[in-house]
Amino acid sequence: MKLGVQVVSEVNRAQGQTWLAGGLGPGSLLDDRFSITDVICNGGMASIFKANDLQSGGRVVAIKIPHQMVEADPTLFTRFETEEKIGGELEHPAILKFYPVKNKSRMYLVMEYLEGKTLYQLLRERRTLPEEEALALASRICQPLQYLHDRGILHRDLKPENIMLCTDGTMRLMDFGIARLAHARRMTFIGFAPGTPHYMAPERVNGKRGDVRTDIYSLGAMLYEMLTGRIPFNQEDVTAIMNARVTGDPDPLRRLNPAISRQAEEIVLQAMERDPDKRFATAVEMQGALDNPTQVKVTGRSERLEPSTPFKRGLRKARTIFLWAILPVIIQVLLFFLIWHHLKGHGK
């Protein structure tokens, strides 16, 4: 009986992934070129499949296919167009490679297939990294980040899930869905700047444009987690996280992990300054500190940290931000069920 339930569950899961991707799944042939062999992951906006590119001698690739509800949402669909445009223009050994495809029958992205694990997965396994390893990894991330900034591109969604640590020892920076040119015309999403609250810079929470120092803040937040095993501002909900980030500073790192050097703590806290003018000005500058921590001057930042203001003053604003943040999600869910009911009706 248990086996039967498991088989039905696996069939339903596979059918769900296939339906979300518009009927595509393992065994499908996309545009008479890509033979899909396996499911890599199934996220909230897209499914990623492993496939063989029949026009390039069977090269193994990863194909990112947006869910049907995403294709029906102009705002979310724009993220895929942005990722394809920016990703296709980048050529760096530490940035995920995109393969151009002409005359596509639908929206999808073709990327190099990588074996390994994300930084998120690594931290779930190990919780913290030794200081030397954490600083070295952050330094490696600075390299592709500076490459982007030199070309006027802001990533805007740096987080452990977007750092792939490959089995061959290389690394890739991924996901350019909300990246943009630093001086491009500002795109209006529904009331809220997109990104991941746990790693988002205060100016982004406040809806400001941001610059290269916005990415530096996010890298600092990632390094904070690598060293302490905790996400900075890990409050109980999204509104509390955003309020804490704009009204106060993170806890001192050495209070959470006394083994951390004062120099490493100084580097992280400088990267995570609420005032962008007090952060590292460039990724190259931050990399210099990461590569030479013993030469970092300890300024006493950890003694000057201010606790976040309780919700009172910022509550109304935080609630408003949160409501605008979840509105696109509500719209996605409604579209999902409308499409589902439509297709279900046609299937009868």
* Predicted local distance difference test score (pLDDT) of residue 186: 41
| Residue 50 tokens, joined | 């492993």
* Predicted local distance difference test score (pLDDT) of residue 34: 97
* Predicted local distance difference test score (pLDDT) of residue 320: 58
Helix 311-347, helix 238-247: angle, nearest 10: 140
Name the DSSP letter for residue 230: S
Q: Tokens 């900075």 appear where? A: 232
Torsion angle defined by CA atoms of residues 39, 43, 44 and 49, in that order, rounded to the nearest 10 degrees? -40
**DSSP E strands: which ranges in the chain?**
29-30, 34-42, 46-53, 59-66, 109-112, 116-118, 153-154, 163-166, 171-173, 180-181
* Predicted local distance difference test score (pLDDT) of residue 303: 95
User: Percent of the chain scored above 70 by pLDDT?
Assistant: 78
Single out the residue of 153, 60, 70, 144 nearest to residue 107, CA to CA: 70
* Predicted local distance difference test score (pLDDT) of residue 340: 61
| Average pLDDT score over residue span 51-77 | 89
Supply the pTM of this predicted model.
0.81
For 132, residues 6+ apart whose C-beta sits below 8 A from its C-beta are: none
User: Percent of the chain scored above 90 by pLDDT?
Assistant: 58
| Band of residue 346 on the pLDDT scale cut at 50, 70, 90 | low
- In single-letter form, the type of residue at position 264 comes to A
**Bridging pattern class, strands 59-66 and 116-118:** unpaired
| Band of residue 13 on the pLDDT scale cut at 50, 70, 90 | very low
Give the largest CA-CA distance in the chain.
71
Q: Go through the domains of the chain in sequence order and give each one's CATH number.
A: 2-112 (3.30.200.20), 116-326 (1.10.510.10)
| Band of residue 170 on the pLDDT scale cut at 50, 70, 90 | very high
2-16, 65-79, 97-111: segment of lowest average pLDDT: 2-16
First to last CA, the chain: 29
Distance of CA 310 to the CA centre of its chain: 28
* Predicted local distance difference test score (pLDDT) of residue 338: 67
* Predicted local distance difference test score (pLDDT) of residue 164: 97
| Band of residue 325 on the pLDDT scale cut at 50, 70, 90 | low
Is the model's pLDDT at 190 over the cut of 60? Answer: no
What is the Cβ-side half-sphere exposure of residue 260, based on CA atoms within 13 angstroms? 26
Is the model's pLDDT at 20 over the cut of 70? Answer: no
